[in-house]
Amino acid sequence: MTRREFLKIARNTAVGSALASGLTTAGYAALFEPNRLKISRTQVQMKRLPRRFDGLRIVLMADFHLFPFTSAELIKQAIHQANALNADLALFAGDFVYSEAEAATELSPILAQLTPKLGSFAALGNHDHMKGATVVSTCAHAFRDRGLEQSRSDSIDWAGLSLFGRSRFDGWRCPGRACSIY
C-alpha cells in the first residue's frame, strides 16, 4: 500500500466517522431527547425564608416548545407526573410554543389539568414573545379561573414572596431587567 492510498483510506474513514457521529447526535436530539421527561428534586435552603414556607413544594415546568418536537401527549404525561408530586405551587417558566403561537390554544386545556394547592404562575419565554405573545397570553387567560396568574410586570408578589417574570422582550436581551429569574 502506498502512502497516498493509506492517506485516502484514513481521510475517508475520518469523514465517515464524523458523519456517523453527527447523524447519531442529530437523531438523539430530534427523536429521543424531546420525549424524555425529567423530574429533578431539589431542596433549597434559604436563611430568611418565613416559617410558613418551610416545606413548600414547588413544581417548575418550562420549555414545552409545543410542536413540532414536543407532542401534546407528552405534555399530558408531564402534567400527570407533576400532579403526582402533590405540589403546593406551580410555576411555568415560559416557552410554551415553538413555531406557532396558535399552538397555545391546544396547550391551555392540558395545563389547566395541573392541580397545585395554592395556584399557578406563568411568565412567557423568548419563543412565546417571538411567535406572538398576545396569542400565547390570551390562551393562558383561558384557564385563569383554574388559578393561573400570568406575570405582566417584573414580578408577581405572592404571599410575601416575589416571583419574577419578564415584562419586556427585546430580541435576545431584556434591557435593564432580570430576564430569567423565577
| Mean local confidence (pLDDT), 33-61 | 84
Using an 8 Å Cβ cutoff, are 68 and 30 in contact? no
Rounding to the nearest 10 degrees, give the CA dihedral for residues 128, 131, 136, 137. 80
Give the amino acid at 13: T
Any idea which fold 61-164 has?
A: Purple Acid Phosphatase; chain A, domain 2 (3.60.21)
pTM of the model: 0.67
pLDDT in tens, 128-176: 878 887 777 766 655 555 555 555 554 566 776 666 544 443 333 333 3
pLDDT in tens, 57-114: 999 998 888 888 788 999 999 999 999 999 998 888 888 888 888 888 888 888 888 8
Give SS3 for 91: strand
Using an 8 Å Cβ cutoff, are 103 and 79 in contact? no
Residue written as grid cell 423568548: 126
**Taking the domains of the chain in order of start, what are their residue ranges?**
61-164
Report the distance separating Cα 79 and Cα 60, nearest Å: 11
